[in-house]
Structure 1
Amino acid sequence: MNKRILIIEDEEKIARVLQLELNYEGYRTESAFNGKTGLERAESEEWDLILLDVMLPELNGIEVLRRYRKKNISTPVILLTARDAVPDKVNGLDHGANDYVTKPFEIEELLARIRACFRTSVQKGQAEGNADELTIHDLKLNLGTRDILRQGKRIELTSREFDLLVYLLHNKNQVLSRDQILSQVWGYDFVGDTNVVDVYIRYLRKKIDYPFDMQLIHTYRGVGYSLKEPL
């Protein structure tokens, strides 16, 4: 069955161009032209992916994303952002966006990001089908409920931090390069500063390592990171 994509974009000409291009690629598409209507459509129907503009009337894209993620944590969302809207990009990723594309963009780039999101969704689905719980030492993560416990204490993570921890757990005791982490967790071939990995590793450490006596995340200078069982 052809995948369904919801386009939430207030510029109707852009939305129409996106629909034509995506339909040509075999996707089924529908559009909403403001945040309120877009959120209603997103929550009331099943979608395989959502393209979400940040600057929307009635309800901005970040707020749409925040509310949508309360009910749906699995459907991929790609943000469409202005060139200089760095805070929007960071805020969007923290609230569960899977990726973002900066306007103006080439349609080939957007199509590649969409394909990458679908590949990542398949990989996550396979992982969840293989095991509901991932563990290392005294840390437990349940893929179904998204509960994370260490020494019995509940840990709250953002969507991106959760994805990063899942990837580290699936590859525990292995040293992973920044490029590997970017490709698998961010879901596309990242072009730019790999420092984003360092930033999110730091976020993760503050929540799953620093409050506890035993360190699980280890840095290998010049190489990358590893989630390792204590010796």
Structure 2
Amino acid sequence: MRILIMENDVQMSDALSNLLSEHNYQCDVAESVGDAKYYLDIRNYDLVLLGWPAGTPSSSLNVIGEIKKNAHKTSVIVISERLDKESEIDALRSGADDFIRKPIDEEILLVRIEAKLRFGASNIIEIEELIINPEEEKIIYQGNEIELKGKPFEVLTHLAMHKDQIVSKEQLLDAIWEEPELVTPNVIEVAINQIRQKMDKPLDITTIETVRRRGYRFCFPKKIG
């Protein structure tokens, strides 16, 4: 599970990142809205922790709407030192899924995150007869399960989540590999080839097209020719 921490308090963001990493969550930290938008453009997040400092206007919660618009299945938990009931109401009405007050009880935070991820909206992708279930790493086409696991599955899923968009090799590396700087772009070509060999050819469909010099695009499953 991947979590984006939007918190301009460096000490707090470091503490949250360390806590979540210890519990096997993959974390990115954004200290500004600009940084957050960059991460949200290249990666899929299951949950966003949004810091809302005292003294900042309610309009700063508008970012929640932007997150939900582009990734409606992503849960958002607002964390804030604000104690008044009105602030919690503002956050929830702005689209937040939960509101947690500082100082944060680590056990409560972890339980709240587990609850949102467990009961949050499904990430299952359904396009006609093709079903991709990221949580179970399962693909079903016309009722039959397709054997595609690991990085090829993650590449297919990422492209499917960004259907009709061109995604570059660099974006795929950043989104999927833990340390993208340590691998070469050739691993993307290998993953794409695995998808075509294990899925497209046997099923006589096309799921991914290569856009020369730009990257790859998930295209609607269709019969070849």
Larger radius of gyration: 2
What TM-score does the superposition give when structure 1 sets the normalisation length?
0.48
